[in-house]
Amino acid sequence: MKNTLLILSVLMALFIAGKSVENNNPFILNGHISGISKGEIVLLTFAEKGYQTDTSEIVNGNFQFKGYYPKLIMGTLRLKLKRNGEEMVLKKQIMLENVKMNFNGSVNDFENAKITGSGIHDDYERCKEGKKQIRLKYERIKQSFPKYNPNASDEDKKALQAKYAKHKKKLNAAIKQYEKDFMQKNPNALYSSYLFEKATIFRSYEQLYELVKDLHPDLKKQPYVAKVISKVENMRRLEIGLDKIMDGVDPVSYQVDKEYKGKRVLDVIYLASFKNNELCALKKDGTIIILDEVGKVTKRFKPTISGKPTAISVDIEDNIYVFSSEMKLVKKKIRGRMVSKELPVGVECQIFSKEGEAINKYNLSGVHIASGSRVVDQHLIVSDCKLKKIQIHDRTSGELLKEIDDMRACCGILDFSVNQKKEIIVANLGAFRVQGFDYNGNSLMAFGKRGKEVLDFHGCCNPVSVATLSSGAIVTVEKDPTRIKVYSNKGAKQIDGIEELVKGCTYIPMIVDNKDNLYLASEEKGIVKCCMVK
């Protein structure tokens, strides 16, 4: 599908590989702020590991930051102070390069402080000034527009609103064109590569192809740009079209089983299925629930779990694999105050019989949180939303055998399934795509894009779950609002009658049994069963 999104970043504070990787010098920022004698100034960055803060004491108006940034990154200097009895925060953006830099500013004009010593930051300021002049030009145009009149007719109000919307659209187009021209005129500047990454956010394949094909040859040589071009070429190979992926897969229809009793089972966070089609459910407190095909609870037990339960799997022998994450309390100083947060740092796998008897346990190497899991033959496969990877382990020992990268986890969610061909089908929600991989990590297929049509995936990030039917049809789950779709050679068809299962960015577990019955779980709404309509 040519319009598939390749979301290369959802971070507005972008980071890229560049010459700073080759520079072993430290980053040093010496600063002076007139108008303040003592206090604290914070350097805030946002990268792969999330928000990072560094705090420096201000003594006689002077401060210093030191560090090392293997990738080019934008930071924000934040100065909190009181003025006329009111607390306010002054901000100044800065490109962080591993060189000695100097800051000279004032509390009265903090945003326009002078930063020297970095050619990358100089390019940023130059580009920023050019865009500022464009905004001033369009602001002058806007000043000539008629003012809003609350007593005007609805028709006149609508016309004025449309005029302002058109003006804003022209302004945004002018800014984008300026950035494009800047990249072409400065192809060897690292900041041009930074602008290129920014331009790739939420771009479809066709848009990305148009973006890269006319780039200056020197800009194409920059590491990040070359990587994107490689990805685009890979997408051209994978995007064979949904019609070919679903070739020979006949459409099927589902309806909600209104008699199913599983809706009474609440607080379920993950699902698995036994070979006799009984359901295995993991509750938030670690309790294991086994339900028959009508939703009646036939067994429950609560194993001793040291960490936070996250997922379960069932193997061909009906053994139950329970995954829990060890949580570590981490304290960080953010904006001048200490904040405590629990983070997953390791995963334990415990194996039980269907009757609840302990069989084995081990720690999974290189996993922080098992956000999804499947046991296939001798392989234990888990997804890690924190590390954004799919990992394949030996199911007996837990030994790590293979890792698959290029995942776009979001909202603490990353799940997958394994089809009858032993292919790993990933709900790569941060990329708004379904992707297929073999056990060696080779990409096999991909489809999906962000949008509002039935073939698209909506919201901030979707799909959250995916499964494959025995026919080869693919089922996807979207949240906020809840939407379950079945893909076949006729496209996508939504299953009707499913109420809103979750609120906001919340995972919706799904499993398919041997009869192709679908089961969905909601902590508040219980378990929903969908049966195929003959």
Q: Is the pLDDT of residue 7 over 50?
A: no
Distances (CA, A) of 220 to 59, 223, 493, 519: 45, 8, 41, 47
Q: What is the mean pLDDT of residues 439-448?
A: 88
Digit-coded pLDDT (tens) for 420-435: 999 999 999 988 889 9
Per-residue confidence (pLDDT) for residue 21, from 0 to 100: 42
Per-residue confidence (pLDDT) for residue 24, from 0 to 100: 76
Q: Which residues of 31-56 are buried (b: 16+ CB within 10 A; e: fewer)?
A: bbbeebeebbbbbbbbbeeeebbebb
Classify residue 259 as exposed, middle or buried by CB count within 10 Å of its CB (0-12, 13-18, 19+).
exposed
Digit-coded pLDDT (tens) for 86-118: 889 999 999 999 999 999 999 999 999 999 999
Q: Is the pLDDT of residue 16 over 70?
A: no
Query: Where exactly does CATH 2.120.10.30 map onto the chain?
Result: 242-533
Per-residue confidence (pLDDT) for residue 153, from 0 to 100: 93
Per-residue confidence (pLDDT) for residue 423, from 0 to 100: 95
CA separation for the pair 426, 424 (Å, rounded):
6
Residue percentage of the chain with pLDDT more than 70: 91
Digit-coded pLDDT (tens) for 491-527: 999 999 999 999 888 999 999 999 999 999 999 999 9
- How is residue 294 written in tokens? 């009508």
**Segment among 83-87, 296-300, 355-359, 476-480 with least mean pLDDT:** 83-87
Give the residue from 305, 286, 289 showing the smallest Cα distance to 297: 289
The identity of residue 337, as a single letter, is: R
Q: What is the mean pLDDT of residues 10-28?
A: 53
CA separation for the pair 380, 373 (Å, rounded):
7
Q: Which helix (H) or strand (E) holds 167?
A: helix 154-185
Digit-coded pLDDT (tens) for 139-195: 999 999 998 898 999 999 999 999 999 999 999 999 999 999 999 999 999 999 888
CA separation for the pair 202, 218 (Å, rounded):
25
Classify residue 155 as exposed, middle or buried by CB count within 10 Å of its CB (0-12, 13-18, 19+).
exposed
Query: Where exactly does CATH 2.60.40 map onto the chain?
Result: 15-120
Give the residue from 158, 44, 153, 57 showing the smallest Cα distance to 92: 44
How far is C-alpha 366 from the geometric centre of its chain's CA atoms? 20
Q: Is the pLDDT of residue 228 over 50?
A: yes
The predicted model scores a pTM of 0.69
Q: Is the pLDDT of residue 137 over 50?
A: yes
248: left (phi over 0), alpha (psi -120 to 50) or beta: left
The identity of residue 205, as a single letter, is: Y
Per-residue confidence (pLDDT) for residue 238, from 0 to 100: 67
- The DSSP letter of residue 147 is P
Phi, psi of 214 (to 5 degrees): -105, 10
Per-residue confidence (pLDDT) for residue 297, from 0 to 100: 97
CA separation for the pair 409, 406 (Å, rounded):
9
Q: Is the pLDDT of residue 323 over 70?
A: yes
Q: What is the mean pLDDT of residues 311-316?
A: 97
Q: What is the mean pLDDT of residues 323-336?
A: 75
Phi, psi of 331 (to 5 degrees): -110, 130
Digit-coded pLDDT (tens) for 233-280: 776 666 667 888 999 999 999 999 999 999 999 999 999 999 999 999
CB 350 within 8 A of CB 357: no
Per-residue confidence (pLDDT) for residue 61, from 0 to 100: 96
Per-residue confidence (pLDDT) for residue 132, from 0 to 100: 96
pLDDT band at 47 (very low <50, low <70, confident <90, very high): low
Q: What is the mean pLDDT of residues 328-336?
A: 66
Three-state secondary-structure class, residue 441: coil
302: left (phi over 0), alpha (psi -120 to 50) or beta: beta
Per-residue confidence (pLDDT) for residue 4, from 0 to 100: 38
Per-chain mean pLDDT for the chain: 89
Digit-coded pLDDT (tens) for 350-405: 999 999 999 999 999 889 999 999 999 999 999 999 999 999 999 999 999 999 98
- How is residue 344 written in tokens? 């997953």
Respond yes or no on whether the N-terminal peptide bond of residue 481 is cis (omega within 30° of 0): yes
Q: Any residues with CB less than 8 A from the CB of 446 and at least 6 apart, and which?
A: 4, 235, 238, 239, 433, 434, 435, 436
User: Does CATH place domain 242-533 in 2.120.10.30?
Assistant: yes
- How is residue 216 written in tokens? 């200056």
β-pairing verdict for 518-522 and 297-301: unpaired
Three-state secondary-structure class, residue 141: helix
β-pairing verdict for 288-291 and 279-283: antiparallel
- CATH fold, domain 15-120, is Immunoglobulin-like (2.60.40)
Distances (CA, A) of 351 to 10, 278, 285, 354: 37, 18, 17, 10
